[in-house]
Structure 1
Amino acid sequence: MISHLAKTEIFSLYVIEESVAANAIANHLHHHTDFILAGSQNNPNIALEEILKKERFPDAVIVNVEVCAAHQSNLPELITNHTSLIITSQSPEDAVLAFSYNAVDFLINPICLTQLNYTLDKVRAGKYPERHNDGPRHFYIQSEAKGKMIRLNHDDVFYIEACQNYVTIHLEKSKYVTYLTMKELEQKLSNTSFLRIHKSHLVNESKIHSVDGDYVILENNFFLKIGANYKESMLASLYPNFFISKRGGFKVAK
């Protein structure tokens, strides 16, 4: 049987950022064979002229809202219905602006390149949603009893706690200990509802009741501390499901 390889779809990305950030993004794109740099500018007015001269809009545009404010440009409003808009800013409070522009994602500057990878995945998924099927909603672990495997449904797990060279998986009324590292579990549960919020905790987003300052409060009223190094990526992961009025008055908790 002859194997036919599917043609790789190419996505174009235009970047409106300060030069240092734009160069970092451009260098990072070399690791993605399906993304090309359509152009970059630190002046949104010139960028708009360049974009409009192209035969078609770029598949995605990264826009720094502080750069736009400095040039008194309303570029995000002008292009939001024509491309996958990615908003960046140094301030978490600008997530509200990203929501009002119907952006595909919001990134804190300086941009975490790992988080940028997740954003590029969203661009791919938005254009070809049929390619991104839901994976299994369960997993198996080896129990403390030799030779026994236990099936755990994602929806039953509240959070996972690191304990030296093993982890404890917490359900509502029970818990399981298994010989895995947090890094191993985080990799295996990537692209699921589980979020890393601390060096010692993975949380099932579906079990989050609220986020209050530096704490995640679960549906069972259990409080978990948010690690300082994980807060920005956690908020960015929650952002697509974040509904808030465009009329303002909201402040992101720090």
Structure 2
Amino acid sequence: MPGIRSQACLLLLALGLSLPVGASERTLRVAVLSKSPPMSFVDAAGKLAGFNVRVAHALCDVMSVRCELTAMPLERVVDAVAAGEFDFAAVSLLDTAERRSRILFSKPYYRSSSIWFARPGVEPGAAGIRVAAVTGSAQSRYARAHGWNIVNVPHHAEFPALLTERKADAVLLPMASALTLRQEPSIQSLGLVTTVIQRPELSGEVCFGIDPQNPELRDQINKAFDRIKRDGRFDRLNSEYLPFRLQ
């Protein structure tokens, strides 16, 4: 009865105890990227959109929690998740040993390669060329490790201007982002050549990053991934945002 329920709540408050919080009131802090189409971007209405954004919402729906999305640059994602600033990152992170030592990973949701996008005759590692990559990415670390002349940028949206203005001779980026870049009208006339780079450091399983202090959340996210794949939501989002199948 309402009267009895009210009395019980008053008793809990009098004893200094917290009222139970329903699962629907739980909020997860989720890091996303804002300029990495088609995976994550800000649409014409000023809202976060893209495959990873929609998958994050689907996972939170399955877990009966509320998602609070915050956009940030890729270079900060792993540090922020490792520090507990976010519960998870709905960001396509290559599962590397260095990252795995700092954060937890969900089960892989696709496998990625890296793409070398350059003018004809500009080969990876050639002397004197300028290679653009996103700061904090596996591609940037690879270029730096090999002593390449790197033009680091905060997000993929910088690439078209760098190429058209000849401030970079090539870009190195993930497969999904390369597909979007090829569709940019400003660079379609440049005759750029696409080369798939199948190096271990540049290809592999792609996962969401999870707070290292919360293995229970990792298990919940993995179960939620299984659920949205079974019920068709993952496949529908795949068709909406990507011209190739992720599984």
**Which protein has greater RCO, CA pairs closer than 8 Å, 6+ apart?**
2
By percentage of residues, which structure has more strand?
1
By percentage of residues, which structure has more helix?
2
Please say whether Structure 1 and Structure 2 have the same fold, judged by a TM-score greater than 0.5: no
**TM-score, length basis structure 2:** 0.27
**TM-score, length basis structure 1:** 0.27
